[in-house]
Structure 1
């Protein structure tokens, strides 16, 4: 933790957020138990990155906007960008990333990306607002990528289950070895909205569910877990590297490119086209059950 890391606390939760990527670094309850993955590079250095202006990978790691083409790595550049802290209280912090000469070299738009984290009882609220501050239509995708402990504190030795509030068995789109999505949809592993988390599920990396769910629960079937709600984030991914002690619960608006598609951001699945002066908001809430 660095000196400019924001520390939020309300007696129930303690949350830290770094200016690099406006990324959550730690989430502890009043007893000091940690719920967020700690970023060990042996598995994955991320903790809860924000995905912008693309979600997932582009073919050849190159994107295009009209006649402008440029390299862009998986999940875009926001997660490795420094955000400015523009507001903070004991229980809230507000960071913003504004377009710069560096971002315009790869993504030729003027924008502001606001990230606000705040605490309400045993709930963490995360809200994002993307503003088009330029004069041209702006295509983009957006997502959250938080990683939570597996197993959760106090639930060691118990099966962990993801339960979709809406139930059902959403189809998924498989990932290729190069990180692009296959065109065909296949049956997903949920049964009546329920999925027990097992290592074998992730042998081919992330599970991607277009139009996945707007609310779910993760944790042991008996005892406390984590409850999630999502806003304006219709796509869902679950990811757990083999052997890693965490599960990523990832709500997105947009996905990786589909095999055979070109580099245009506007043509990516579920891309948003934001008019000049317009904004779009996204959010999720995670509650630590008592």
Structure 2
């Protein structure tokens, strides 16, 4: 595997690996890294891209046009090497194109591009999906970045997730990795949630709708990270219980519904892209300058 690409400016330094086009580090000018380091004792991921599904498929299979294909949780892109197609001091772009290998599990001609760019103390990670085939193309796409918990300089202090819209979105808890028919009451109060490790004993906290297009993660009177989301209506929060990270995951797509079968296009929040169509999804995070 090729070495990571480094981009940056006077505020931020970012490293991105060709494997999965996955961010490996996100450092501020003081040298502190705000991204999880991928320690295998907990979780080897750091910021994987989820494509062409988000979450799990029943028995790890999907159905497309009457044919059944194997599909691992979160899809194949995160474990596939991308090609570097553009790079400047402040931006890098990696692309994954359909191949014989991808056709064996996902029979579409697609282009998936991941672009990381910095401007001031902001990092933007954008995904572009293009349908280069002749048939409608269903897919899910999600981001899965893991940030330190506690954040640098905030050890021993309570950390909060605060929604920009002040909402109290309903909570979804997976059952056997799939989406149940009922929702639970929101853990947010007036848009605020103090995160605790015990909240993740039942796996991820998923908010199918209503979390809005932005949030802040951090400590009152201490370090704060502000996120904005583009075309990403679903939100999940996750950690491996007791691990020193929190994943803030904006998605456009979710796991299959329990009892709903294998059909890919029937999964909640699935995008159906027409031939020649393009779709963009992005998140921006602003770090302490």
Same fold at TM > 0.5:
yes
Alignment TM-score, normalising by the size of structure 2: 0.98
Where do 4+ consecutive residues of structure 1 move more than 3 Å? none
Distance 1:259 1:221 in 2: 39
Name the structure 1 match of 2:274: 275
Q: CA deviation at 1:99?
A: 0.3
Name the structure 2 match of 1:239: 238
Name the structure 2 match of 1:66: 65
Distance 1:3 1:205 in 2: 33
Distance 2:3 2:112 in 1: 19
Q: How many residues align?
A: 288
Contact 1:227 1:289 in 2 (8 A): no
Q: Which runs of 5+ in 1 are unaligned?
A: none
2:224 matches 1:222: no
Distance 2:244 2:222 in 1: 19
Distance 1:68 1:50 in 2: 25
Cα deviation code 1:24-79 (max 9, x no counterpart): 00011101001000101111110000000000001111111112211111100000
2:178 matches 1:180: yes
In angstroms, what is the RMSD of aligned CA positions? 0.9
Contact 1:173 1:183 in 2 (8 A): no
Cα deviation code 1:116-145 (max 9, x no counterpart): 100001110111110000011000000000
Name the structure 2 match of 1:9: 8
Q: Which runs of 5+ in 2 are unaligned?
A: none
After the TM superposition, which residues 91-106 of structure 1 pair with which residues of structure 2 at under 5 Å, given as runs? 91-106=90-105
Distance 1:58 1:113 in 2: 21
After the TM superposition, which residues 1-290 of structure 1 pair with which residues of structure 2 at under 5 Å, given as runs? 3-176=2-175, 178-211=176-209, 212-290=211-289
Alignment TM-score, normalising by the size of structure 1: 0.98
Distance 2:267 2:171 in 1: 16
Distance 2:2 2:131 in 1: 31
